[in-house]
Chain A
Amino acid sequence: MIEAFTEPLRYEFFRMGLAVSILVGLLCGLIGVYVVLRRMSYIGHGLSHAVFGGAVVAYVASVDFYLGAGAWGFFSALIINAVARRRRIGADAAIGIVTTASFAVGVALISRTRSFTTNFEAALFGNILGVTPLDLGVVTGVTLLVAAFILLFYKRLLFVTFDPEVAPIFGIRAGLVDSLFALALAATIVASINVVGVTLIAATLIIPATTARLMTESFGRMLVLSAFLGAFSGGLGIYLSYWLDISSGATIVLLESAIFVLVFVVDALLGRRNVWAPAPPTRRSETAAYDD
């Protein structure tokens, strides 16, 4: 049994992959809490596609992948914010337009230069075997920066996430917080892309956070649980991927999904929420039933 865990550690590529995917799980788990609570789930999906466009452009223009894709992702996030503020355009449509157009730029460039298909298959579906020391360094750096950001801006982020309209009235600079958050999200996606791939990043952002939400009513605990679930799934997922010879990104996401289903079922059986019933009422007249 122990042998099964120690055996793959002999290979450097595995040790590297293990470290990177634990960090990516932790990182996505942390940022995912804010993404889920702000009901921005779709933005994770969209931004990863936008970043793909940026990665291709960076490749063609011979710019460093992390620099090019990171800047592209950050500006996509800002443009989405700006477009979504226009009247008559919903945030979901804004995300759809900006990120799909950006993805299409990548596809268009690839179709003209057919020489680098394998690299981009890795970008789409993730390739843990191809992780380099540079990747590990970037993931470590981004994780530290994002953790520092969350720690320093904890209260402001929480207020802006809870009530974006009212936070500025209480003296929170919501514009600054939103921009920094967009930067952190873009950095997270760029750092994770090599491990889980464009198509699966949204899941690693959303599933641990959603699972954690089912387990607690406290924001602080949700943050810790989500990060732990992400890191745990990242670590165990890499082993499963090695043992079963399945793509790393898919394994991590499937493991996270399995944990989610388990927690969901337990939560339903414990009767804390009747998951099959319609959503609970929001009206105060009805919540008055809790009055004591």
Chain B
Amino acid sequence: MTHAARAGEPPLVRFAAVSCSYGRATVLDSVDLEIPRGALVGVVGPSGAGKTTLLRAIVGGVPRMRGVVTVDGRPVTGPRSARVGWVPQLETVDWDFPATVREVVCMGRWGRAPWRAWMTREDRAAADAVLDRLGVGGLGDRQIRQLSGGQQQRVFLARALISDPVLLLLDEPTSGVDIRTRDEVLHLLADLNRTGMTIVMTTHELNSVAAHLPWVVCVNRRIVAEGDPERIFTAEILNATYEADLRIVRQDGAILVADAAPHRLRSALRHSHDGYEHAHHEHEGDPHIHDHDHAHRHEPVPHAHADGSVHVHEEPRS
């Protein structure tokens, strides 16, 4: 199997007129989307545009939803109905929790046979097998903090894969990790995809992540565009997605999304503060930086406004 959609086969995931809202704010508005079997899809869009909600809708994790999502032909009615693996944002994990790698991986099976208090030999064997498969065998007895970034991501991938899902969903798998770990994670996902696993992930990193993926969906309450980033990373589409002023540079087959007026931001930031020249470095295509509040928004840390689900829930865009 390859990651390419296979002609004639029904899609693995289908959204039919799906709308989601939190309180009075609509986060997704009448979305139609199909994800073919074996695809590797990135979901991009500004903070609060519904990226994480889109993923959550696939696992029935959105409280107020209209329309129908089907996985493998069956409508999703709740978390138990779909065989879907979920990898949360690593930044939301409580790394000080007294749990070993094996315990965390086994949690992936607990939705189904939860009555026994202890882990069976079969549980352990399954956990060790999936850890082995991901190249982190032998770490089962470690407390989860005692791992590198790449290992931590693999542990949570193992938890998602242990129940043998048909689909893998990852919420910002590269958010807050260093460059080496990011590349490690992306290569790992590519390997999994090559074995036939369908993968959907959200990301806010256009240049370093989304541009390399075979298929990207641009979301801003509705689907703005989808396709190969080679084709759809145009100024028109990305500006519509991010409601920003971006410029696309193509050189030697590579795509670079850049701020159309970096000097404006630069002078605004320098005006109030010196020494933050790297502030903009990882914020390519992030619209609200140069919209308002120049003086107050110069956090140099890129993940300061990583598009976590919490933010999506708490501050829906109006």
Binding site for B on A (CB under 8 A): 37, 87, 150-156, 158-159, 161-163, 165-166, 168-172, 213, 216-219, 222, 280, 282-285, 287-288, 290-291
Contact B98 A290 (CB under 8 A): no
Offer 19 A-B interface pairs, CB within 8 angstroms, sorted by A: A37-B97, A87-B23, A152-B115, A155-B114, A155-B116, A158-B103, A159-B110, A162-B99, A163-B107, A170-B108, A219-B98, A283-B176, A284-B148, A287-B145, A287-B146, A287-B149, A288-B149, A288-B178, A290-B147
Query: Is B98 touching A284 in the complex (CB atoms < 8 A)?
Result: no
B147 touches A168 (CB 8 A): no
Flag the segment in B11-19, B84-92, B204-212, B272-280 that touches A. Answer: B84-92
Complex-state Cα separation, A168 to B116, whole angstroms: 19
In the complex, B151 has a CB within 8 A of chain A: yes
Q: Which residues of A contact B59 (CB under 8 A)?
A: 169
Which 4 A-B pairs give the minimum distances between C-beta atoms?
A171-B111, A284-B149, A154-B117, A291-B148
Within 8 A of A (CB), among B52-91: 56, 59, 61, 79-80, 84, 86, 88, 90
Question: Shortest Cβ distance from A79 into chain B, in angstroms?
Answer: 20
CA gap between A19 and B191 in the complex, in Å:
60
Q: Determine the distance from Cα of A165 to Cα of B143 in the docked complex, in whole angstroms.
A: 21
Question: C-beta contact mask, B165-180 vs A, less than 8 Å → 1, else 0?
Answer: 0000000000011101
A217 touches B149 (CB 8 A): no
- Chain A residues contacting B88 (CB-CB under 8 Å) are 163, 165-166
CA distance in complex: A158, B90 (Å): 18
Chain A interface SS verdict (over half) = helix
Asked if B122 is at the interface of the complex by the 8 Å CB criterion, the answer is no
Q: Say whether, besides A155-B114, A219-B99, A291-B148, A284 and B108 are in contact (CB < 8 Å).
A: no
Shortest CB-to-CB span from A46 to chain B, Å, is 22
Q: How far is the CB of B259 from chain A (nearest CB, A)?
A: 25
Cβ distance B130 to chain A, nearest Cβ, rounded Å: 15
Q: Cβ of A159 and Cβ of B107 under 8 Å apart?
A: yes
Inter-chain contact B98/A217, CB cutoff 8 Å:
yes
Interface status of B239 (Cβ within 8 A of chain A): no
Give the number of chain B interface residues (Cβ < 8 Å).
47
Q: How far, in angstroms, from A153 to B110 measured CA to CA in the complex?
A: 10
Contact indicator B86/A170 (Cβ below 8 Å): yes
Q: Is the CB of B117 within 8 A of A151?
A: yes
Nearest CB of B to A181, in Å: 15
Chain A residues positioned under 8 Å from B145 (CB to CB): 280, 287
Among A151, A166, A213, the one with the most B-chain Cβ atoms within 10 Å of its Cβ is A166
Q: Which residue of B lies closest to A156 (CB)?
A: B114
Closest to B315 in A: A87
Q: What chain A residues lie within 8 Å of B143 (beta carbons)?
A: 217
Known contacts A154-B118, A162-B99, A284-B176; 15 further A-B pairs (Cβ under 8 A): A158-B107, A161-B97, A162-B97, A165-B88, A166-B86, A171-B111, A172-B110, A218-B98, A218-B100, A219-B99, A219-B103, A287-B95, A287-B145, A287-B147, A288-B180
Query: Across the two chains, which residue of chain A brings its CB closest to B145?
Result: A287
Set of chain A residues within 8 Å of B9, measured between Cβ atoms: none
Give bound CA distance, A170 to B110, whole Å. Answer: 8
Chain B residues with CB under 8 Å of A170's CB are: 79, 86, 107-108, 110-111, 163
Determine how close the nearest CB of chain A comes to the CB of B22; give it in whole angstroms: 10
Choice from B23, B79, B118 contacting A168 with Cβ under 8 Å: B79
Q: How far is the CA of A149 from the CA of B9 in the complex (A)?
A: 47
Are A285 and B177 in contact (CB-based, < 8 A)?
yes
B79 touches A169 (CB 8 A): yes
Residue from the list A156, A165, A171, A217 in contact with B80, Cβ < 8 A: A171
- Contact in complex: B111, A172 (CB < 8 Å): yes
Among A152, A159, A217, A280, the residue within 8 A (CB) of B117 is A152
CB of B79 within 8 A of CB of A290, answer: no
**Can you name the residue of chain B whose Cβ is closest to the Cβ of A174?**
B79
Contact present for B117 and A162 (CB under 8 Å) = no
Q: Is the CB of B148 within 8 A of A156?
A: no
A-chain residues with CB within 8 Å of residue B108 when the two chains form the complex: 170
Interface residues in B249-308 (C-beta closer than 8 Å to A): none
- A213 to B99 alpha-carbon distance, docked (Å): 11
Is the pair A288, B148 in contact by a Cβ cutoff of 8 Å? yes
Bound Cα distance A152, B180 (Å): 42
A162, A218, A284, A290 — most chain B CB neighbours (10 Å): A284
Q: Which residues of B contact A163 (CB under 8 A)?
A: 88, 92-94, 107
B60 to chain A, nearest CB (A): 8
A270 to B255, CA, bound (A): 53
Q: Which of the listed residues B79, B104, B163 has the most CB atoms from chain A within 10 Å of its own CB?
A: B79
Min CB distance, B96 to chain A, in Å?
Answer: 8
Q: Does B112 contact A (CB under 8 A)?
A: yes
Q: How many Å from the CB of B196 to the closest CB on chain A?
A: 22
Give Cα A280 to B309, complex, Å: 25
CA distance A151 to B111 in the complex (A): 16
Residues of A contacting B178 in the complex (Cβ-Cβ under 8 angstroms): 284-285, 288
Partner of B110, one of A151, A152, A156, A284: A156
Q: Inside 8 A of B114's CB, which chain A residues have their CB?
A: 153, 155-156, 172
Complex alpha-carbon distance, A213 and B98, angstroms: 8
B111 touches A291 (CB 8 A): no
B61 touches A169 (CB 8 A): yes
A155 touches B177 (CB 8 A): no
Evaluate contact between B117 and A285: CB separation under 8 angstroms: no
- Pick the contact of A162 from B79, B84, B107, B176 — CB < 8 Å? B107
**In this complex, what residue of A is CB-closest to B163?**
A170
* Residues in B whose Cβ lies below 8 Å from that of A156: 110, 114
Q: Are A282 and B95 in contact (CB under 8 A)?
A: yes
